Structure 1
Amino acid sequence: MTESRELYALYFTRFANSFGIVTLLTLLPTYIDLLDPQGFVLGMFATGLTLAQAGTVIPVSYLGDRFDKRSILVGGLALAALVYGLFPLVATSWEFVFVRGLQGVAATVAGLLGLALVGQLARDSERGTTIGTSNAWRFAAAIGGSLSAGALYDRFGFDAVFGLLLVVCSAAALAVWLWVDPDETSTDGFAFADLAMNRRILTITSFRAQYAVAVTLVRTWVPIFAGVAAAKGGLGYNAAINGATAVAVVLAAEKFTNMLAQPYTGSLSDRFGRARFVFVGGLCYGAVALAVPFTPAVGAALGLPESYPFFGSLSAAFLPLVALNALLGVADSIREPASMALFADEGSGSGVASSFGVRSLVWRPGSVLAPLAGGWLTTNAGMEWVFYLGAASAFTGVAAFFGILTYRHGWGGLAEW
Structure 2
Amino acid sequence: MDDRKLQFYALYLTRFAGGFGVVTLLTLLPKFIDYLEPTAVTVLGVSLSAGFVIGMYTTGFTLAQTIAVVPLAWAGDRFDKRLVLVGSMGLGVVAYALFPLADLSLSFILARGLQGVAVTGAGLMSLALVGEIADTGTRANRIGKANASRFAASIIGAATAGGLYDYFGADGDAFTPIFALITAILAVATLLAWLSLSPDETRIQGFPFSDLAFNRRIISLTSFRAQYAVAVTLVRTWVPIYAGVTAASGGLGYGALAVSLTIIAEKFCNMVLQPHTGRISDGHGRALFIFFGGGLYGLVALAVPFSPAIGTALGVPTALPFLGPLTPAFLPLVGLSGLLGVADSFREPASMALFADEGTDDGGVASSFGIRELVWRPGSVVAPLLGGYLMTEVGMEWVFYVGGAAAVTGVVTFLGVLSYFHGPTALTEW
- Report TM bin, short chain: over 0.9
Mapped partners of 2:365, 2:421: distance in 1: 26
TM-superposed deviation, 1:297: 0.5
- After TM superposition, list the pairs within 5 Å mapping 1:77-116 onto structure 2: 77-116=89-128
Asked if 2 retains the 8 angstrom alpha-carbon contact of 1:288 and 1:327, the reply is yes
Query: What corresponds to 1:382 in structure 2?
Result: 395
Residue of structure 2 aligned with 1:315, choices 301, 324, 327: 327
Asked if 2 retains the 8 angstrom alpha-carbon contact of 1:344 and 1:356, the reply is yes
Instruction: Report the residue type matching 2:57 in the other structure.
Output: F
Query: What corresponds to 1:366 in structure 2?
Result: 379
- After TM superposition, list the pairs within 5 Å mapping 1:148-227 onto structure 2: 148-156=160-168, 157-227=174-244
Instruction: Report the residue type matching 2:153 in the other structure.
Output: A
17-26 vs 308-317, which deviates more? 308-317
Mapped partners of 1:43, 1:179: distance in 2: 39
Mapped partners of 2:200, 2:297: distance in 1: 37
Q: Deviations over 1:384-415 (max 9, x none)?
A: 00000001100111001101122233331202
RMSD: 0.8
1:354 equivalent to 2:362? Answer: no
TM-superposed deviation, 1:308: 1.8
1:260 equivalent to 2:272? Answer: yes
Q: Deviations over 1:341-374 (max 9, x none)?
A: 0000000050000000000000000000000000
Aligned length: 412
- What secondary structure sits across from 1:312 in the alignment? coil
Q: Deviations over 1:8-49 (max 9, x none)?
A: 000100111111111000000000111122111010011000
Query: What corresponds to 1:33 in structure 2?
Result: 34
Mapped partners of 1:130, 1:332: distance in 2: 16
Mapped partners of 1:347, 1:406: distance in 2: 22
1:272 equivalent to 2:284? Answer: yes
Instruction: Report the residue type matching 1:8 in the other structure.
Output: Y
Query: What corresponds to 2:344 in structure 1?
Result: 332
Asked if 2 retains the 8 angstrom alpha-carbon contact of 1:409 and 1:416, the reply is no
Asked if 2 retains the 8 angstrom alpha-carbon contact of 1:377 and 1:385, the reply is yes
Mapped partners of 2:199, 2:421: distance in 1: 41
- What secondary structure sits across from 1:360 in the alignment? helix
Instruction: Report the residue type matching 1:329 in the other structure.
Output: G
Mapped partners of 2:16, 2:210: distance in 1: 30
Query: What corresponds to 1:240 in structure 2?
Result: none
Mapped partners of 1:352, 1:112: distance in 2: 9
Mapped partners of 1:88, 1:410: distance in 2: 54
Asked if 2 retains the 8 angstrom alpha-carbon contact of 1:70 and 1:180, the reply is yes
Residue of structure 2 aligned with 1:74, choices 70, 86, 89: 86
Structure 1 unaligned residues grouped into runs of 5+ = 238-242
Q: TM-score, normalised by structure 2?
A: 0.95
Mapped partners of 1:155, 1:360: distance in 2: 37
190-199 vs 54-63, which deviates more? 190-199
TM-superposed deviation, 1:305: 2.4
Asked if 2 retains the 8 angstrom alpha-carbon contact of 1:279 and 1:401, the reply is yes
- What secondary structure sits across from 2:154 in the alignment? helix
4+ residue stretches of structure 1 with deviation over 4 A? none
Q: Deviations over 1:270-303 (max 9, x none)?
A: 0000000000001100010000000000111111
Q: Deviations over 1:305-328 (max 9, x none)?
A: 233221121111110000000000
Mapped partners of 1:143, 1:196: distance in 2: 35
Instruction: Report the residue type matching 1:20 in the other structure.
Output: G
1:14 equivalent to 2:15? Answer: yes
Instruction: Report the residue type matching 2:176 in the other structure.
Output: D
- What secondary structure sits across from 1:308 in the alignment? coil
- What secondary structure sits across from 1:307 in the alignment? coil
- What secondary structure sits across from 1:132 in the alignment? helix
Asked if 2 retains the 8 angstrom alpha-carbon contact of 1:61 and 1:192, the reply is no
Instruction: Report the residue type matching 2:12 in the other structure.
Output: Y
Q: TM-score, normalised by structure 1?
A: 0.98
1:415 equivalent to 2:428? Answer: yes
Structure 2 unaligned residues grouped into runs of 5+ = 39-49, 169-173
Query: What corresponds to 1:399 in structure 2?
Result: 412
Q: Deviations over 1:135-185 (max 9, x none)?
A: 100100110111111111111211110011011110111111111000000
1:140 equivalent to 2:157? Answer: no
Asked if 1 retains the 8 angstrom alpha-carbon contact of 2:308 and 2:328, the reply is yes
33-42 vs 93-102, which deviates more? 33-42
Instruction: Report the residue type matching 1:273 in the other structure.
Output: G
